[in-house]
Amino acid sequence: MNHLDRRDFLTRLTLATAAIAAPGYGFSGVGRADEFVEVATTHGRLRGARNEGVTIFKGIPYGGRVSGDRRFRRPAPIAPWTGVRDALQFGAPAIQAPRRNEPDPAEDCLFLNVWTPASDNRKRPVMFYSHGGGFVGGSGASGGQDGSNLARNFDVVIVETNHRLGLLGFLYLDELAGSDYAGSGNMGMLDITLGLKWVHDNIAQFGGDPNNVMIWGESGGGAKTSCLYAMPDAAPYFNKASIESGPGVRMIAKDVAAETTAMLLKELNIAPKDWRKLLDVPAATLLTIQNKLPSVPPFQEKNRTQSLMRRNYGGFGPVVDGVVLPHHPFDPTAPAISRNKPLLVGWNEDEYTFFAWQSKDTAFAKLDFEGVQKKLEPQYGQDTDKIVDTYRKANPNASAPAVFVAISSITMMGLGSVDIAEKKVKQGGAPVYLYNFGYKSEKKIPGTDYAMGTPHAMDISFKFNNELPPRDGSEPKESYFGGNRPERFAASRHFAELWTTFARTGKPAAKDVPAWPAYNLTTRPTMRIDATCEVIDNRFSQELAMWRSIGKV
């Protein structure tokens, strides 16, 4: 297997949330409840289920129909209901492959879920999470994201949405379809913004504070958070943000999006003037076509050496249309619109091992240094010697596979994260805090003796505080990614407490964790999150100096 290019990477991100929605990562059961709780919203009363100190409301509609004549447009208004509507089952996820333990995907997918300690007007911090899966997969009921423990243990309110994805969420029609379709290239993002507006209008009834909302997300959810941080439509509805293993520095330019639209129409044998025929194509057919179209169109190949969320890339995702997304989220600068909103940003130390596990790549674990060189040369060309030499000098005891993982992981998610932190500092507004998640799972990648370490997506269960010993005192089960060592419980507690304290105050802090200084361009402090946390100044200084010297950060 060659080193991951963008098309491979996006494909695997699409599969990532499906891969981790497995036994051991399930949500609290729907059928069991200590009691039912009713709450009034702007459109009618809802009934949620209370269990072990947390009330969960599932499948709440926050937008109306997005199918039929509303395809590629802003949603229809929500139809109010009379009586009490059950909010006991998850709503349909966006169109994608079927998802384990969830309803069938559907075009009409604008539902959200709420976890709250109590509907008591206590004005708790609200943590509004955007799921991963690139821009083409996942849902607000994805595995590992159960908000029960965060709500119960840290007295916060958790909200997660389903929203349009892929072609149905990001097909750019502005230049073909007229004013009714303005913003069509960002409908998935506008859905999330509508969810934020719903929170503003309703969350007080669920025990949350509409004036203290944190947006956060991992992987594709980090890129969505990057976009929200730069969007005028979203600006009134949140106060702080966290971008986790998904630094969205740049999004899709209009000309690239228009070319992707042209490719789609050609594939469907629809003339541009007949674009309305897209409204009659079955969603299943559109999904099939979406999966056939390249994530990296040929006209973007010149940029393939840049990392996942940094380049001006093709495929389906948010479009820099000058209105909904006025400019790239963090290029050339941090967005002025969020100058005064604190930010967390960072990545996992061994991001790459997830993708090796997912793709059954065992060859990397057998590499020698000559093999590392050959594996990286197609991507880095004449810079490969300098890259490998720098990593070997900075990590003199690291094996060849470990050097390959370190290089791959920082280029996937690290360089963009550092770029965002630096630009936020230069803006001179609210603080930014840089982190690395470093708890090491001992689980081996199947077919190898190489441990997972801290793979992409492992942070989900940790930061949601879903790495806990059973409350009934029974023997803990092995974590899906996190392994068996009991130290994972402390790492999860630290991660969750840092994030919930940030949600509450705008400054991350936790018991038994050193004070976390805001990032600056002198000492460059980075919090390494683990069973024992530490602040490391100028972390990866040699490696980052090298990446800067070849123009990668």
Residues involved in catalysis:
219
Could you report how far apart the first and last alpha carbons of the chain are, in Å? 26
- Sign (positive/negative) of CA torsion 16, 22, 28, 30? positive
The torsion angle over the Cα atoms of residues 327, 333, 336 and 337, rounded to 10 degrees, is 40
Q: Are 39 and 246 in contact (CB under 8 A)?
A: no
Whether the CB-CB separation of 128 and 196 falls below 8 Å is answered with yes
Sequence-distant (6+) residues with CB within 8 A of 482 are 439, 441, 443, 458, 461, 462, 467, 488, 492
Please state, in angstroms and rounded to a whole number, the distance separating the CA atoms of residues 14 and 18.
8
Closest CA to 417 of 519, 295, 303: 519
244 has which bridge partners? Answer: 218, 346
For 269, residues 6+ apart whose C-beta sits below 8 A from its C-beta are none
C-alpha distance from residue 240 to each of 59, 154, 196, 226, 410 (Å) = 25, 18, 13, 11, 25
Q: Report which of 129, 23, 142 is spatially closest to residue 93, judged by C-alpha positions.
A: 142
What gap in Å lies between CA 263 and CA 531, rounded to an integer? 49
User: For residues 247 and 66, what is the distance between their CA atoms, to the nearest angstrom?
Assistant: 29
> Distance between CA 161 and CA 135 in Å, rounded?
13
- Token pair 């309803």 is found at 103
User: For residues 227 and 319, what is the distance between their CA atoms, to the nearest angstrom?
Assistant: 10
Q: Computed over its alpha carbons, how large is the radius of gyration of the chain?
A: 22
Say which DSSP state 304 is in.
Answer: T
Reading the block at residue 32, the tokens are 């069991």
Query: Residue 56: what are its φ and ψ, rounded to 5°?
Result: -120, 130
Q: Measured between alpha carbons, how far is 262 from 221 in angstroms, rounded to an integer?
A: 27
Residue reference for tokens 């976890």: 115
Structure tokens, 388: 């490998």
The residue to which tokens 């001179």 are assigned: 428
Residue 541 CB: number of other CB atoms within 10 A? Answer: 12
The 3-state secondary structure of 66-83 reads CCHHHCCCCCCCCCCCCC
Nearest to 144 by CA among 54, 294, 20, 269: 20
